[in-house]
Amino acid sequence: MRSKHFRSRGAVVALVILLLVAAAVAAAILGNRDDPPDRAPQQVQATAEQLRLGRYLARAADCAACHQTAQGAAYAGGFPLETPFGTVYGTNITPDPDHGIGRWTADEFYGALTRGKAPHGRNLYPAMPYTAYHDIARADADLIYAYLMNVRPSAQANKKPDIPFPLNLRILMSGWNLLFFDKDPLPAASQGESQQWVRGRYLSNVLGHCGECHTPRGALGQVKRDEWLQGYALGRFEAPSLTPRALAERGWNPADLQRFLRTGLAPQGIAADEMYPVILHSTQYLGDDDLAAMSAFMLGDHPPPPVPAPQARPEDGPPSAGRRVYLNTCAACHGIDGNGHAPGMPPLADNSTVRLESPRNLLLSILDGLPGQRLPDGTEIGEMPGFARRLSDDEVAQLTNYLRAAWGGRPGEVAAGDVAKLREGK
C-alpha cells in the first residue's frame, strides 16, 4: 500500500511539473506574439498646436533615429539596432492598423514608453529605451502619441529581431526587468539646481536618453548607474564621456556644445557615427533655450573652464615615422600643420577625437574612415577614406601616436597589437 501511495504521489508531482513546463512554454510563445489589439483603429483628434508640440517632443525623444531608415517612410520602422545579443529592428509606429500602432490606445502607448510593455503584455527589448523614458511626463507621452497617430500611415511590415534562442523568448525580459529596471530617477553627472539645469536633465536623461549610449553597461546589457555618462563602446566606435570634467578636458564650453548640437559642427570636431543621426533627426530641431538647457545639464550650473588646445609640438630635424605617415597620408586634406581646410576638412589642433583619453575612435577613423555627410546648415563634409588596407598595424600606431602627441596632448602609447585587435573587431 505504501509503495502504491508513493507512486501516486510521484505521478501528481510529475503532472504538476509537466503543467508548469507547459505553462512556461505557452507564456513564452504568447509573450512573443505581436498581433495588433483586437479593436477598431483609434481615431485621435488633435489641434494644430498639439500636433506641433507632439512633433517637437517626438524629435526631442529622437524617435526617427530608430524607427525609420534613410529610404523608408517616416516612422515606418526597419532600422537595425545591433546589440551584443543580436539585432533588433525599429518597429513601425505609424497609425497603420495592422503593422503600426493604429489600434493602440494612449494608455498602451504610454505603457510601451515607460514600462516596456506592448499590447497583450508583450515585453519590449530595452533597445527601446523605456529604462530612460520611464520618467517621461504623461502629458508629453500623450502629445507624442497624438502626433504619431496623425502622420501618414505606412503598411510596412515589422522585421523580426535576429536574436538567437533562447534569448529571443521575450518572457525572459520579465526577469531582466526585475533585476535591472530601476524606476528611480536617472543619475546626473553634473551639479545643478537651476530651472535650466532641471530642464536639461529631462531633455538629456529622459527624452534624449543620452545615457543609453554614453554610459557603461554590464554583461547582461544593464546600464551602470554608478558610472553615469562616463563613456562606452556599445558599437564599434566609443560614445565618449559626457561628464563635465571629460568635456572640459576636450575643450568644450557651453557655446560650442550648443553649436555642435544644433549643426553637428564645432571647433572640437564634426558629428560622426551614431551622433550624426541624433543631430540630423533630433537636436537640430530643438529651440535655443532647450539646447542651452542640455548644455547646462552636461556641464553643470558652474561649468569647469575648458582646457585650451595643447600647443602644437613641431618636430625638429628629420620627421619621425609617424610624421612621415601623416605627410604621405593625411596632409593633403588636414594640412601640413594640421589646420584643416574649412569647413569640410576639420583641423586636428582642437579636435575632440584626437584629445580623447582613449585612442579607440581615432584608430577606427584611420582604419575604417568616415562617410561624407551633409550637416543641417548645409555644410558638406568630405568623405574620409579608411586606410586599413593601405597602412600596416605599425604605421597606424605610429600615425596615431604622432597625432595624439602633436595635437592631442596625449602620450604616444598605442602599439601595433592595439591596432590588430581593432582590425579583428575586438
Which residue positions form the known binding site? 63, 66-67, 210, 213-214, 330, 333-334
Q: How far is CA 398 from CA 338, 345, 416, 418, 419, in A?
A: 16, 22, 8, 12, 10
Residue 385 cell numbers, joined: 577614406
Annotated binding site for heme c: 63, 66-67, 210, 213-214, 330, 333-334
CB 361 within 8 A of CB 378: no
Rounded to whole angstroms, the Cα distance separating 133 from 61 reads 9
- Rounded Cα–Cα distance for residues 287 and 310 (Å): 33
Q: Are 200 and 295 in contact (CB under 8 A)?
A: yes
Q: How far is CA 18 from CA 7, 171, 194, in A?
A: 16, 19, 59
Long-range contacts of 256-262 (CB under 8 A, 24+ apart): 257/294, 257/295, 257/298, 257/299, 258/288, 258/291, 258/292, 258/294, 258/295, 261/286, 261/291, 261/294, 261/295, 262/286, 262/291, 262/376
Count CB-CB contacts under 10 A for residue 129.
22
